[in-house]
């Protein structure tokens, strides 16, 4: 059994990776950077697990007949794909890994405000994850990730309560991360790091944290009420015992629509940093990008009813929700326009992170615009519960968020690990992901518009051409996601050593060594210039 | 950071006593048939109890303005949730041709 040893194994500079060794030094660490690594490993496991469920779903749908799984098993597969990807990958992905690692460094702090609460949040996440994995091992759950009653509360004969507990517990991890970020950003900024000099990545995480703090308790209470109804038959949501199923959908989507912004806002934060760095320009309209993050967080709480246009909610409420949903597109559009304006006349470099940023901007735009189709009452009635909806949210979640995550991971990989990844393989995998993604999900827009419903394991033969394309594309996408796993792990051992600032980027995190020392900076930093001061900068870019 | 002003122990005891009395009051009021005012009385007492806990036990009274802002945001978000939710419930019966739609032909939504 290994124990924590205080001395480094070699003569290399002390950093957060080599100051202590042994499993205890990791499992009991309060260093935000090590906790970020713990999260990185954990979410990668869940991404793989959710990806396996997705591949099984796509395999089943390669033919119109339900020939690989029966309908019950298929229901479990898409449910567990959704639960794992949303609650155990997408929501913690960027905040808990890149956010955890970078926010203290970006604002010039030694750590987050509450380091032990930070570690606690990871343990809570792991407990929730174990409950989820245990639920799946015992037979899973078939309600869809949305847990709609009365099916979930009364009729389903699968492990609904166990899955609900996993989601309930994971919510506390999310709340604690948000709380830690808010206090850290308010209280621990370095001298000179005023709010108008904060990196836009930090602004995006501040907005995300607001949603985590204000929205997550609502879904926790909703799931607890669902458990009460299922176990003790208290009539809350099931009309047979005096409840209202639409009430569940109101409470669930009050959190779960803003949760979409928990997932996408940090991705937008990453894209801000990448676009500014690889265009060698200050982001166009910095105050508007920062403000639009807060705007999305606030407006995002007012639009949940667009998930419920055909449920029987008041049509007047639907009209208002439709209008507000159009409004939330405005701050999102501000970001897209400002990214493109930032690139205008910029000195653009086509490194791997920038390729992912290009992918993000294009795919998020398609995802966002198709969201407007769904926010429009009349088209929504036609498109509800079709593959159009599936394609729309995958364009936002995968085309947007996962590409943002991969772009950010490549951008800060040299800082996190002290090693450069192979640029050729990075660019190749970005290209494969982009092509594979579009092959997978664009046909789903067409299938959905033609009327193919979601959540069925068998379908009418006229939709097969779309589904074959989609399944083939998913295989390409799978290769695109596997490649970075291989070459990033390879780079840990064989990659060239990274300089402190390989991209010539601006920001305090680039002014410390790669990897950083335990307390981030050898001397406390002072922010004495505007954020993103790229004017007159001709710093070279070093790549592996 | 927030100043750690010590609240005298007798204040805590007084609040605890007030909370206990209010709980008993909720129980006793529930036994009297006040019609629609039963629920109003219960919610009023609950709000008073919540304010005592938030301001005294959770030290929000001594907190800085930023903490108060966040506590206020929590309440505002609750108001948003309940307010919009009630808008749905209150307007569901406004069906064209229904009680709140005096002119025009009767029509069944979705029919």
What pLDDT, in 10s, does the model give residues A252-295?
999 999 999 999 999 999 999 999 999 999 999 999 999 999 99
The partner residue sitting opposite A313, judged by closest CB among B74, B80, B88, is B88
End-to-end Cα separation, chain A, in angstroms: 36
pLDDT at B94: 83
Q: What is the mean pLDDT of residues B51-77?
A: 92
Give me the residues of A, 472-531, that contact B with CB < 8 A: none
- The single residue listed with the structure tokens 């794992």 is A84
What pLDDT, in 10s, does the model give residues A358-394?
999 999 999 999 999 999 999 999 999 999 999 999 9
Q: Does residue B72 fall inside a structural domain? A: yes
Q: Does A250 touch chain B (CB under 8 A)?
A: yes
Give how far A185 is from chain B: nearest CA, Å. Answer: 12
Q: Which domains does chain A have, with CATH numbers?
A: 32-511 (1.20.210.10)
What pLDDT, in 10s, does the model give residues A82-119?
999 999 999 999 999 999 999 999 999 999 999 999 99
Q: What are phi and psi of A453, to 5 degrees?
A: -75, 155
Q: What domain range is B36 assigned to?
A: 9-91
List the single residue in A with minimal CA-CA distance to B77. Answer: A214
Q: Does residue B96 fall inside a structural domain? A: no
pLDDT at position A15 over 60: yes
Q: What is the mean pLDDT of residues A16-41?
A: 95
pLDDT at position A36 over 60: yes
What pLDDT, in 10s, does the model give residues A471-496?
999 999 999 999 999 999 999 999 99
Q: Does A381 touch chain B (CB under 8 A)?
A: no
Cβ burial A434-463 (10 Å sphere, 16+ → b, else e) = bebbbbbbbbbbbbbbeebebeebebeeeb
Q: Per the structure block, which two tokens stand in for A436?
A: 């594979």
A111 DSSP 8-state letter:
S
Give me the residues of B, 29-68, that contact A with CB < 8 A: 66
Q: What are phi and psi of A497, to 5 degrees?
A: -65, 140
Q: Do A314 and B92 touch (CB under 8 A)?
A: yes
Which residues in chain B have Cβ-Cβ distances shorter than 8 Å to A182? Answer: 70
- The single residue listed with the structure tokens 């208002």 is A320
Give how far B33 is from chain A: nearest CA, Å. Answer: 22
List the single residue in B with minimal CA-CA distance to A312. Answer: B92
Which residues in chain A have Cβ-Cβ distances shorter than 8 Å to B74? Answer: 214
Domains in chain B: how many in total? 1
Q: Does residue B4 fall inside a structural domain? A: no
A97 DSSP 8-state letter:
I
pLDDT at position B1 over 60: no
In which band, very low, low, confident or very high, does the pLDDT at B108 lie, cut at 50, 70 and 90?
Answer: very low
**How big is the A-B interface in CB pairs under 8 Å?**
41
Q: How far is CA A333 from the centre of its chain?
A: 19
Q: Does residue B102 fall inside a structural domain? A: no
Cα–Cα distance between A210 and A208 in angstroms, integer? Answer: 5
Q: Per the structure block, which two tokens stand in for A352?
A: 């791997």
What pLDDT, in 10s, does the model give residues A148-200?
999 999 999 999 999 999 999 999 999 999 999 999 999 999 999 999 999 99
Cα–Cα distance between A36 and A111 in angstroms, integer? Answer: 12
Which residues in chain A have Cβ-Cβ distances shorter than 8 Å to B80? Answer: 301-302
What pLDDT, in 10s, does the model give residues A220-232?
999 999 999 999 9
Q: Per the structure block, which two tokens stand in for A131?
A: 């409950």
pLDDT at position B2 over 70: no
Q: Does B69 touch chain A (CB under 8 A)?
A: no
Q: Does residue B42 fall inside a structural domain? A: yes
Mean pLDDT of all residues belonging to chain A: 94
Q: Does residue B35 fall inside a structural domain? A: yes
Q: Do B87 and A317 touch (CB under 8 A)?
A: yes
Q: Do A254 and B81 touch (CB under 8 A)?
A: yes
pLDDT at A182: 97
Which residues in chain B have Cβ-Cβ distances shorter than 8 Å to A302? Answer: 80, 84
Cα–Cα distance between A354 and A345 in angstroms, integer? Answer: 16
The partner residue sitting opposite B77, judged by closest CB among A182, A301, A316, is A301
ipTM of the complex: 0.86
Q: What are phi and psi of A5, to 5 degrees?
A: -115, 135
Cα–Cα distance between A239 and A232 in angstroms, integer? Answer: 15
What pLDDT, in 10s, does the model give residues A307-319?
999 998 999 999 9
pLDDT at position A426 over 80: yes
Strand partners, A21: A5
Q: Does residue B32 fall inside a structural domain? A: yes
In which band, very low, low, confident or very high, does the pLDDT at B4 lie, cut at 50, 70 and 90?
Answer: low
Q: Does residue B2 fall inside a structural domain? A: no
Which residues in chain B have Cβ-Cβ distances shorter than 8 Å to A254? Answer: 81
Q: What is the mean pLDDT of residues A138-156?
A: 95
């Amino acid at each position: 059994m290994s124990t924590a040893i205080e001395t480094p194994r070699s003569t290399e500079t002390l950093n957060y990776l080599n100051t202590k060794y042994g499993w205890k030094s990791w499992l009991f660490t309060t260093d935000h950077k090590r906790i970020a690594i713990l999260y990185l490993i954990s979410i990668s496991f869940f991404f793989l697990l959710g990806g396996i469920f997705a591949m099984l779903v796509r395999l089943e749908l390669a033919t119109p007949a339900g020939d690989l799984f029966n309908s019950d098993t298929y229901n479990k597969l898409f449910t567990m794909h959704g639960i794992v990807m949303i609650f155990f990958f997408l929501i913690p992905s960027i905040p808990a890994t890149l956010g955890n690692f970078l926010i203290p460094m970006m604002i010039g702090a030694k750590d987050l405000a509450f380091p032990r609460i930070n570690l606690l949040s990871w343990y809570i996440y792991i407990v929730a994850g174990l409950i989820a994995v245990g639920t799946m091992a015992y037979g899973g759950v078939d309600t869809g990730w949305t847990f709609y009653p009365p099916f979930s509360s009364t009729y389903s004969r699968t492990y609904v309560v166990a899955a609900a507990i996993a989601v309930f517990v994971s919510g506390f991890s999310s709340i604690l991360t948000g709380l830690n970020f808010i206090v850290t950003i308010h209280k621990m900024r370095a001298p000179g790091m005023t709010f108008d000099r904060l990196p836009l990545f930090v602004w995006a995480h501040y907005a995300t944290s607001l949603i985590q703090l204000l929205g997550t308790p609502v879904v926790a209470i909703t799931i607890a009420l669902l458990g009460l109804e299922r176990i003790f038959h208290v009539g809350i949501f099931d009309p047979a015992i005096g409840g209202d199923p639409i009430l569940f959908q109101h409470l669930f989507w009050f959190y779960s629509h803003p949760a979409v912004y928990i997932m996408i806002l940090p991705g937008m934060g990453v894209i801000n940093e990448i676009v500014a760095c690889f265009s060698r320009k200050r982001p166009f309209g910095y105050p508007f990008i920062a403000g639009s993050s807060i705007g999305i967080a606030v407006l995002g709480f007012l639009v949940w009813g667009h998930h419920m246009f055909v449920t029987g909610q008041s049509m007047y409420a639907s009209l208002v929700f439709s209008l507000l949903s159009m409004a939330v597109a405005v701050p999102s559009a501000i970001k897209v326009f400002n990214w493109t304006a930032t690139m205008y006349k910029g000195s653009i470099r086509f490194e791997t992170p920038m390729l992912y940023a290009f992918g993000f901007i294009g795919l998020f735009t398609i995802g966002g615009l198709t969201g407007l189709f769904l926010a429009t009452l009349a088209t929504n009635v036609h498109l509800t519960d079709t593959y159009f909806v599936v394609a729309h949210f995958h364009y936002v979640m995968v085309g947007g968020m996962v590409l943002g995550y991969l772009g950010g991971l490549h951008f800060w990989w040299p800082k996190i690990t002290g090693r450069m990844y192979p640029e050729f393989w990075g660019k190749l995998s970005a290209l494969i992901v982009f092509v594979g993604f579009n092959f997978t999900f664009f046909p789903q827009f067409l299938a959905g518009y033609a009327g193919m419903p979601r959540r069925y394991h068998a379908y009418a033969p006229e939709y097969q051409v779309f589904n074959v394309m989609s399944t083939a594309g998913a295989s390409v996408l799978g290769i695109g996601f596997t490649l970075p796993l291989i070459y990033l792990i390879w780079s840990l051992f064989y990659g060239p050593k990274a300089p402190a600032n390989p991209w010539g980027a601006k920001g305090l995190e680039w002014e410390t060594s790669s990897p950083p020392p335990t307390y981030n900076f050898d001397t406390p930093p002072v922010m004495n210039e505007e954020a993103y001061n790229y004017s007159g900068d001709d710093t070279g870019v070093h790549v592996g | 950071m927030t100043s750690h002003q010590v609240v005298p122990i007798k204040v805590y005891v007084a609040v605890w006593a007030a909370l206990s009395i209010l709980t008993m009051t909720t129980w006793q009021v529930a036994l009297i048939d006040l019609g629609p005012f039963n629920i109003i009385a219960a919610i009023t007492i609950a709000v008073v109890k919540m304010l005592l806990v938030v301001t005294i036990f959770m030290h929000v009274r001594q907190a800085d303005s930023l903490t108060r802002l966040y506590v206020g945001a929590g309440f505002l978000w609750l108001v948003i949730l309940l307010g919009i939710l009630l808008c749905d419930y209150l307007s569901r019966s406004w069906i064209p041709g229904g009680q709140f739609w005096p002119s025009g032909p009767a029509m069944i939504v979705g029919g």
